[in-house]
Structure 1
Amino acid sequence: MANPYSIGRDCRITVLWNGQRVDLRDVTSFSAAQETQALRANPLNGVPLEFNVPNGWRGAFQIARANAALDNLVAAVEAAYWNAGTVGSGTIYQYVTEPDGTTSTWEFSNVSMQLKSDPWQADHMIHQTVQFFASTRTKIS
């Protein structure tokens, strides 16, 4: 019997930066949450009203470090800024295999990111965490 619910293995991500694919081999977690801006009205003659306007997406992913790809990307972003004053942006694609066997594809665009932790310890796998902000999330398929 097929699994009737989504599980963590049903998700994979691909990162593109300035149009180039970044080989993040072993992504171990991914999360994304919609951000909104609350607009509020407090009419004198009625109940308060609130509308939540989309205001981007914030998330994080973690990799088990299998190569220098993430470190190289962060170094290239820094170098581009210090050498030419440019800050690139990326795209994250999230692929979810749905319980019915179909695939949903989500595109996070205008991504900026920050490498949050890079702890090196004896006899431990190295896990690197990236936090990101994306302007939009669009359903591709």
Structure 2
Amino acid sequence: MQGGYNTGKDVSVDINTPTGPLRLGKIMNFKSKPKVSNTEIVPLNGQTDELQIPKGWTGSFDAERIDSTLDDWWAQFEADYYAGVNRDPATITETIEEVGGGITTWRYTNVILTLDNAGDKEGDKTIRQSMSFTARRRLKV
């Protein structure tokens, strides 16, 4: 918290996969947003209504590569896929320390994780990896 505002330092993220926790030491950012389906309803009187239906959540995060955790996780996902192993979805828990001193916790359920970028390898630069996800719901815990 800084000056009465939340900052990224107030947020922690825990990722639990079917094979156990995905422990990333340096998560750099976490983004999430709801997905919605909008349908216009236009009755004969011409007064348009909008029907909005929640369709889950999407998001992404970046992590600095400090070990092979994400690479190993993706390698296991690929191995399981080609071996015909059915993998259950993951969960993500987002915890926010509120300015007023409270804690808010959100749980993303039925999470499907995708390794979007294993990282660019360049001299004198860190390797930033990125993942995206879709979730069926975000529930307040």
Q: Per the shorter chain, which TM-score range?
A: over 0.9
Q: Counterpart in 1 of 2:87?
A: 87
Q: Return the offset for 1:42.
A: 0.6
Q: Counterpart in 2 of 1:133?
A: 134
Query: How many percent of aligned residue pairs carry the same amino acid?
Result: 28
Instruction: Flag structure 2 segments of 5+ consecutive residues without an equivalent.
Output: none
Q: Counterpart in 2 of 1:113?
A: 113
Q: Deviations over 1:68-127 (max 9, x none)?
A: 111111111111111024233111110111101111111011111211122111110110
| 1:111/1:12 CA distance change after superposition, 3 Å | same
Q: How many residues were matched structurally?
A: 140
TM-score (norm 1): 0.93
Q: Counterpart in 1 of 2:58?
A: 58
**Matched position secondary structure for 1:75:** helix
For residues 1-141 of structure 1, the aligned pairs below 5 Å read 3-18=3-18, 20-117=20-117, 118-140=119-141
Instruction: Flag structure 1 segments of 5+ consecutive residues without an equivalent.
Output: none
**Matched position secondary structure for 1:125:** coil
Runs of at least 4 residues off by over 3 Å:
none
Q: Deviations over 1:11-32 (max 9, x none)?
A: 1101000161111111000000
Q: Which amino acid aligns with 1:41?
A: I
Q: Which amino acid aligns with 1:61?
A: F
Q: Contact 2:18–2:87 at 8 Å: present in 1 too?
A: no
Q: Which amino acid aligns with 1:67?
A: D
TM-score (norm 2): 0.93
Q: Judge which range, 82-91 or 22-31, deviates more.
A: 82-91
RMSD: 1.5
| 1:19/1:76 CA distance change after superposition, 3 Å | closer
Q: Which amino acid aligns with 2:37?
A: Q
